[in-house]
């Protein structure tokens, strides 16, 4: 977003990420609508229920505050997301609130809540509607984030969907818009998809890219999500000493999701007890890891590289040969590469396929998805 030196309006704040809110909040009029909203969102990004309670109590005393009733409802709703106490009826009720100023934000917030309770189809619909509303308001960065989140829902609706080509394609658009949070989120999702394939080194590469974009947001929920995945990947590649250090740091965070995620990691890699894990408090990605991805077969270096190359989309065999075996005779390279494909598909059946239309090689369930808000 453009640098703001005067008092920001509510639209400036609606389009701001955590770091931007920290910079803009001192420019707001104390106890104004803008000041209160910025405080609410900073506390939410920090995953801090106690701060949200304190802000609620303060706003209750402000008789002349513009949009007071909405802000009180908004705090309670955001607090319920943090604590995981919402049900579908409450989410539907909140999503139907009407307001020219808040409509995009209402839909975005409702979509997050629907995602938390694993109502993925509904969440996708709300994210797409939110993206449209935010774009109308010229809140372009958050509109892109809503669109990326809608793509993520496709992976939750059908766990076979990898969506890597979609994420990497949107990153270019997000870079132009300087949508830092959205880029970080996309890289995190790409990392998670590669992790589930067994391409741990590529997963680590993209997880680090996510964390690089979040280096100034180390108090946020998004940062902790990336750290949790990094810990899991480190364990998978037998770098457990590094993982343990990060686990101790993450354990200091009091967010229930992260505590339960650590229990999943302990169960998977440190002989922890599965019975100690509260499955209802796990975020969807960690619930999937607990229930479905216990014994992922690790890809070798060249296998990992093939999967990295195919992530953005389908490729000709000749291109892959030149990238994987650049200094080897064409016939020998062909034999080696097809053997490599066989090894990959033995570890992860059906992962690499050929396109029916082009004959090119691609990752299964990695085709671009259609966008609609119906």
- Residue 253: the pLDDT is 60
Do 58 and 32 touch, CB atoms closer than 8 A? no
Are residues 329 and 220 located together in one domain of the fold? no
Q: Is the pLDDT of residue 1 over 90?
A: no
The distance of Cα 186 from the centroid of its chain, to the nearest Å, equals 6
Q: Which residues have C-beta within 8 Å of that of residue 247, sequence separation ≥ 6? A: 231, 262, 265
Structural domain of residue 340, as residue ranges?
A: 301-363
Same domain, 306 and 183: no
CATH of the domain at 230: 1.25.40.10
- 25 domain residue, yes or no: no
Q: Answer yes or no: do 350 and 273 share one domain.
A: no
* Same domain assignment for residues 294 and 171: yes
Q: Are 1 and 12 in contact (CB under 8 A)?
A: yes
For 191-210, how does the pLDDT look when each residue is reduced to its tens digit (9 = 90+)?
999 999 999 999 999 999 99
Res. 3 pLDDT band, cuts 50 70 90? low
For residue 307, tell me if it sits in a domain.
yes
pLDDT(43) > 70 = yes
The verdict on residue 89 lying in a domain is no
Please report the beta strands in the chain, taking only residues with DSSP state E, as ranges in sequence order: 352-354, 361-363
Same domain for 283 and 314, yes or no, is: no
| pLDDT digit string, tens, across residues 218-236 | 888 889 899 999 999 999 9
Can you read off the two tokens belonging to residue 302? 């060249």
What whole-number distance in Å separates Cα of residue 160 and Cα of residue 183? Answer: 23
Report d(CA 282, CA 260) in Å as an integer.
6
Last residue of a domain, one of 273, 299, 325: 299
In the chain, % of residues over pLDDT 90: 73
- Give the pLDDT score at 97: 93
Residue with tokens 């609620």: 56
> How many domains would you assign to the chain?
2
- Where does the pLDDT of residue 4 fall: very low under 50, low under 70, confident under 90, or very high at 90 and above? low
pLDDT, tens digit, 9 for 90 and up, residues 241-289: 999 999 988 777 656 678 888 999 999 999 999 999 988 888 888 988 8
Same domain, 173 and 184: yes
Note whether 231 and 176 are same-domain residues.
Answer: yes
Q: Would you say 104 and 133 are in contact if contact means Cβ atoms under 8 Å apart?
A: yes
What is the C-alpha separation between 39 and 44, in angstroms, rounded? 9
Distance from C-alpha of 18 to C-alpha of 43, rounded to nearest angstrom? 10
């Amino acid at each position: 977003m453009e640098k703001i030196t005067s008092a920001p309006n509510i639209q400036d704040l609606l389009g701001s990420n955590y770091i931007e809110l920290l910079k803009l909040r001192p420019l707001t009029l104390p106890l104004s609508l803008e000041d209160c909203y910025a405080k609410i969102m900073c506390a939410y990004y920090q995953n801090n229920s106690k701060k949200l309670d304190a802000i609620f109590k303060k706003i209750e005393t402000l008789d002349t505050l513009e949009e007071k009733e909405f802000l009180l409802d908004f705090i309670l709703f955001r607090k319920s997301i943090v604590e995981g106490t919402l049900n579908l009826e409450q989410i539907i009720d909140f999503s139907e609130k009407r307001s020219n100023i808040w409509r995009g934000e209402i839909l975005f917030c409702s979509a997050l809540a629907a995602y938390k309770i694993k109502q993925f189809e509904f969440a996708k619909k709300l994210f797409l509607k939110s993206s449209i509303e935010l774009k109308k308001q010229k809140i372009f960065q958050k509109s892109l984030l809503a669109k990326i989140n809608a793509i993520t829902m496709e992976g939750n609706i059908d766990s076979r969907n990898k969506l890597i080509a979609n994420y990497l394609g949107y990153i270019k658009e997000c870079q132009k818009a300087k949508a830092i949070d959205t880029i970080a989120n996309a890289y995190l999702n790409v990392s998670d998809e590669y992790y589930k394939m067994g391409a741990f080194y590529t997963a680590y590469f993209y997880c680090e890219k996510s964390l690089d974009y979040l280096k100034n947001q180390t108090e946020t929920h998004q940062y902790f999500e990336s750290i949790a995945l990094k810990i899991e990947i480190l364990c998978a590649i037998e770098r457990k000493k590094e993982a343990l250090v990060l686990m101790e740091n993450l354990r200091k965070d009091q967010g229930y999701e992260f505590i339960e995620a650590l229990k999943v990691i302990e169960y998977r890699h440190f002989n922890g007890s599965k019975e100690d894990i509260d499955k209802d408090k796990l975020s969807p990605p960690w619930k999937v890891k607990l229930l479905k991805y216990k014994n992922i077969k690790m890809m070798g270096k060249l296998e990992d590289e093939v999967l990295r190359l195919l992530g953005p989309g389908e490729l000709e065999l000749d291109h892959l040969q030149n990238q994987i075996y650049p200094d080897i005779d064409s016939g020998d390279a062909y034999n080696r590469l097809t053997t490599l494909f066989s090894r990959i598909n033995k570890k992860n059946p059906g992962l690499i396929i050929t396109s029916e239309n082009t004959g090119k090689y691609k990752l299964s369930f990695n085709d671009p998805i259609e966008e609609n808000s119906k």
